[in-house]
Amino acid sequence: MTSFVRDAEASTVHLPAGPWQTVLDALCATFPAISREQWVDRMARGRVLDAQGGAITLATPYPRVGLRIHYYREVVDETPIPFIETVLHVDEHLVVADKPHFLPVIPSGSFVEETLLRRLMRRLDNPDLVPLHRIDRATAGLVLFSANRASRSAYQALFQQQRIEKRYEALAPPLAESSFPLTRRTRLVRGEPFFRTHEIDGESNSETRIEVIERGNDLWRYALYPITGKKHQLRVHMSALGAPISNDSWYPTLTTQDLDDYQRPLKLLAKSLTFVDPLSGELRRFESCLGL
């Protein structure tokens, strides 16, 4: 018997024990922001599944002890993002895309279809695409995707074992008193509000190497090499050094600037990825066509 493998597009929720008569009742109670009509419509289209991949219907009874459900997130009237990604490379195992600023990599919050993952799934007709790493919605540049379940773990190991060189470029104020190359090692933890990150005392869990590419009057162009991959690591490290990345509305202080101010993109670009291919042994390098 073949075990059910969850579609990469589907979300999973573990519903709690409760007194509901049907799964529909449980979902409505668990997700009050989603109308009953929306759940009914999803079920009619086979968009709500049980743990074995079977379709949940309006009459499916609730087991009272809890239940794992797979469902497809949908956002009504999702706002289009007016920037298009570029596919730089496609083969049996890998897809490399150049992501524009403002486009999320994966579904989150109010973004589902307007994400790099869902756009590429439709464009390449490949439901098996999975991002091997992520960059912030505010950041532009390269994202590497696994296109084949059979080889996915080999490429995931590149990131887990830090066997891939990630090079970013950023525009930020001068650090005229610093010597380069400079290495920043600190301990990063979740901050306030929850979506921000900040440094605290303690054993370091993040590391970034920083070099200067170009010295301008007001802004310098930096090359940033994240050795680790903590959330907002580059933005926090540059800010802590006294050179917050240009147009960063979150670091060092959270401002009221609109994240979707298309005239003021964050000046941070995932410029290149370099690694030895774990299947062929070939040295591979991909470079973004975008600029800051």
Could you give the percent of the chain with pLDDT greater than 90?
64
Q: Quick one: pLDDT band at residue 8, thresholds 50, 70, 90?
A: low
The residue-averaged pLDDT of 23-38 equals: 85
Q: What is the pLDDT of residue 164?
A: 96
Q: Quick one: pLDDT band at residue 76, thresholds 50, 70, 90?
A: low
At 264, is the secondary structure helix, strand, or coil? coil
Q: What span, in angstroms and rounded, lies between the C-alpha atoms of 155 and 152? A: 5
Q: What is the pLDDT of residue 18?
A: 86
In tens, the pLDDT along 184-203 reads: 999 999 988 888 999 999 99
pTM, full prediction: 0.76
Q: What is the pLDDT of residue 4?
A: 45
The residue-averaged pLDDT of 272-276 equals: 98
Please tell me what DSSP assigns to residue 61: B
End-to-end CA separation in angstroms for the chain: 52
Q: What span, in angstroms and rounded, lies between the C-alpha atoms of 142 and 96? A: 7
